């Protein structure tokens, strides 16, 4: 009975890891659609979002069943609770990729981004996808050190996001209000995507250590 229970816990982790792959692929394609004004790729991201929603529902259903039927304690309980929260973050990451794809579709056939900021979004997209793929590995391995490493990559996205505001506030910004609004919103989507990837990693730290980074003494270095 206990062996079957732990198999179910492993299956739950596998589902979360698969969700990480889904949202990484979604943001990779959404960024491609954004940079290339590729309507077909944008439509693919939009149609595939339902699969991410279904994956979250499947994770939550299994997690709640484990809570109800197995009454887990200690590390097992933390694993189930972390899975519920991680599935929520991963679904939100999928939603953020969806928003990027919808922006590309909304402006098609015109490009969304002025040439002046394309490089920033190409870099944020690369980092965001890398964070999601790192989150997949953290879910699989529960490697606390690897989980902490996501923070530094997230800082890079934050730095680019902040720099975008200096670009937009420049008196010489020549692209008008609509472009400034698009850039502001899109920058926020990438910044939040990265934050959610870090949140997933922090949930795995919680599974291993019993503490959420940032919520207890001694967590400042995490």
* 110 φ/ψ angles, rounded to the nearest 5 degrees: -75, 145
What CATH number corresponds to the domain at position 91? 1.20.58.220
Residue 219 lies in a domain: no
Domain encompassing residue 151: 2-209
Give the per-residue pLDDT at 212. Answer: 79
Q: Is the pLDDT of residue 220 over 60?
A: no
Residue 69 lies in a domain: yes
Residue 107 lies in a domain: yes
| CB contact at 8 A, 66 and 11 | no
Distances (CA, A) of 2 to 6, 13, 29, 69: 6, 17, 41, 12
pLDDT in tens, 67-77: 888 878 888 99
The closest of 91, 89, 26 to 53, measured between CA atoms, is 91
pLDDT in tens, 29-64: 999 999 999 999 999 999 999 999 999 999 999 999
Residue 214 lies in a domain: no
Averaged pLDDT score across all residues of the chain: 92
Q: At what angle do helices 115-141 and 176-209 cross, to 10 degrees?
A: 10
Residue 221 lies in a domain: no
Domains in the chain: how many in total?
1
Give the per-residue pLDDT at 216. Answer: 41
The closest of 189, 4, 191, 209 to 98, measured between CA atoms, is 189
What is the average per-residue pLDDT within 161-177? 93
Q: Which residue has the tokens 């929603």?
A: 53
What's the pTM?
A: 0.93
């Amino acid at each position: 009975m206990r062996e079957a229970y732990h198999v179910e816990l492993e299956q739950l982790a596998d589902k979360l890891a698969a969700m990480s792959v889904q949202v990484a692929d979604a943001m990779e394609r959404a960024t491609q659609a954004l940079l290339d004004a590729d309507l077909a790729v944008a439509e693919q991201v939009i149609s595939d979002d339902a699969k991410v929603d279904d994956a979250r529902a499947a994770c939550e259903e299994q997690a709640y069943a484990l809570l109800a039927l197995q009454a887990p304690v200690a590390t097992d309980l933390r694993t189930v609770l972390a899975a519920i929260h991680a599935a929520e973050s991963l679904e939100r990451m999928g939603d953020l990729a969806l928003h990027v794809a919808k922006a590309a579709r909304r402006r098609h056939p015109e490009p969304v981004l002025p040439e002046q900021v394309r490089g920033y979004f190409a870099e944020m997209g690369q980092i965001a996808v890398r964070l999601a793929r790192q989150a997949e590995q953290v879910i699989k391995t529960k490697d606390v050190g690897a989980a902490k490493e996501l923070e530094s990559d997230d800082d890079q996205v934050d730095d680019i996001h902040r720099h975008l505001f200096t670009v937009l506030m420049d008196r010489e910004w020549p692209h008008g209000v609509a472009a400034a609004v698009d850039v502001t919103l899109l920058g926020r989507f990438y910044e939040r995507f990265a934050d959610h990837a870090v949140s997933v990693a922090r949930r795995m730290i919680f599974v291993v250590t019993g503490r959420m980074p940032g919520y207890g003494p001694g967590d400042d270095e995490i």
